[in-house]
Chains A and B, each alone.
Chain A
């Protein structure tokens, strides 16, 4: 079946450190891939997306590249800020998946000054 696996958190970093949150997926065909972010006490926001192999999604300094060969969509940011502290969810919509999102477990990021 279709699934998403994320690295376990929490991830604790100092401000201006480099961030990587690993995400791998299992799906047939070519799913669409997403990163969502949930700030404390808020709903989910779409952070970035990629809909085909080798696409790079980017937003607010975050990037992720759709790697078909490794079935991965790792999230990166070159220099994190305290305001980036949140829970990050990797997700996919399977090919022909009628827009049904399948989420990973989420990774909590805590950034300290």
Chain B
């Protein structure tokens, strides 16, 4: 398994502002992902964070809105830009070393007012 931490654990932000969420893993991992869980909903993949190159975004998500960095094999950030109330969600990072296992961080609960 892997020990994953996220900062902040929760935040309340005003519309129009941006928030950067950090994800730290206790050891090197091959793949890191960012997911969104809207209130009462399932999880949707935002993007794959690639080490040393631009993130790979899923349909419906764009880099200008959700810029992602991954400077090394244990750390990644997701920024939610120009926030609106519709961005209120739980944002989770996950990591994977093998094809068959993926582990999730505790999540960041974001409320946009």
Show the binding face of A for B, using Cβ within 8 Å.
Answer: 32, 34, 36, 42-46, 49, 51, 89, 93, 98-106
**Are the C-beta atoms of A101 and B43 separated by less than 8 Å?**
yes
B-chain residues with CB within 8 Å of residue A36 when the two chains form the complex: 104
**Are the C-beta atoms of B42 and A45 separated by less than 8 Å?**
no
Q: How long is the Cα–Cα vector from A66 to B90 in the complex, in angstroms? A: 30
Q: How long is the Cα–Cα vector from A36 to B113 in the complex, in angstroms? A: 31
CB neighbors of A among B44-87 (8 A): 44-45, 48, 58
Assign chain B's interface to a size class.
Answer: 20 to 34
**Are the C-beta atoms of B42 and A106 separated by less than 8 Å?**
yes
- Across the two chains, which residue of chain B brings its CB closest to A43? B106
Quick one: CB contact mask for B92-113 with A, threshold 8 Å, 1 for yes? 1010100111111111000000
Known A42-B106, A49-B100; judge A99-B31 contact (CB<8 A).
yes
B-chain residues with CB within 8 Å of residue A106 when the two chains form the complex: 41-42
* B33 interface neighbour in A42, A51, A89, A99, Cβ under 8 Å: A99
- Across the two chains, which residue of chain B brings its CB closest to A102? B45
**Are the C-beta atoms of A46 and B45 separated by less than 8 Å?**
no
A-B contact pairs, 21 of them (CB 8 A): A32-B99, A32-B100, A34-B102, A43-B92, A43-B107, A44-B92, A45-B104, A46-B102, A49-B100, A51-B100, A93-B99, A93-B102, A99-B96, A100-B45, A100-B58, A101-B35, A101-B43, A101-B94, A105-B41, A106-B41, A106-B42
**Are the C-beta atoms of B42 and A89 separated by less than 8 Å?**
yes
Q: How long is the Cα–Cα vector from A43 to B93 in the complex, in angstroms? A: 10
B-chain residues with CB within 8 Å of residue A51 when the two chains form the complex: 100
Known A43-B105, A43-B107; judge A103-B43 contact (CB<8 A).
yes
For A93, A99, A101, the residue with the greatest tally of chain B CB atoms inside 10 Å of its CB is A99
- Across the two chains, which residue of chain B brings its CB closest to A49? B100
- Across the two chains, which residue of chain B brings its CB closest to A101? B102
B-chain residues with CB within 8 Å of residue A98 when the two chains form the complex: 31, 48
* Further contacts, 6 of them, CB under 8 A, given A49-B100, A98-B48, A106-B41: A32-B100, A51-B100, A89-B43, A103-B43, A103-B44, A106-B42
**Are the C-beta atoms of A100 and B99 separated by less than 8 Å?**
no
